[in-house]
Amino acid sequence: MPAAPLLITSGITAAAATAVRMPVDVHAQIQAVFGARQLILQELTLLDQQRTDLGRTASLAYSSDVVTNGVDPAKAVAARDAWKSKDTDVSTQQAALNDLLQLIESRIEEFKQTNKAEVSVVLRDQIASLSVDLSTQEKAEHLTEHQLKVLWNELRDVDPGCLATMAKESTLRVPEVQRKAVVKSTRRAARK
């Protein structure tokens, strides 16, 4: 059998080619670890909420079934196993993210010691970005407050007695902070 033809290269062997490394982009690495940390923390918050929701949903569904059909131990086992399986999956995801977060935190601390100037640039960029996001949210909140004010004024014009009734009813249904906001808005609308 004839030998396979040799490829003509520029004189760089495969071993030498793999030994040549591209320059490391430290700025990109720092951006990645800080960005990853933020995204992981957000995801952990969502997973916490998901676990809480899983428990609520399972308890409400099982409670409804018990009230409708009575206690059935076999259904209890199935409901518990279904909830536990989903909860275990989410818990495993949380544990993995927490483990990786520890690795990322170590790398962040290392960068803070060895590349303070680059860390400063990345942090300033992230602060600027979050400030823009916050400003956008505040503008949207201001617009919502303005829309509420307009609606309160229109309600006052059409049904002035309704404002007092709404304020009283809100004390029964809404938490204290929200109730105070409704009462405050009601008083402001009534003064105008």
pLDDT at position 183: 59
pLDDT in tens, 144-176: 999 989 988 888 888 888 877 777 666 555 555
Mean pLDDT over all residues of the chain?
83
Q: For residue 175, count other CB atoms closer than 10 A to its CB.
A: 8
Higher-scoring residue by pLDDT: 22, 144: 144
CA dist., res. 184 & res. 47, Å (int): 36
Least confident of 32-46, 78-92, 117-131: 117-131
pLDDT band per the 50, 70, 90 thresholds, residue 184: low
What's the pLDDT score for residue 190?
54
Instruction: Judge if pTM exceeds 0.75.
Output: no
Residue ranges covered by each domain of the chain: 25-114, 137-192
- Write the pLDDT tens digit of every residue in 96-154: 999 999 999 999 999 999 999 999 999 999 899 889 999 999 999 999 999 989 988 88
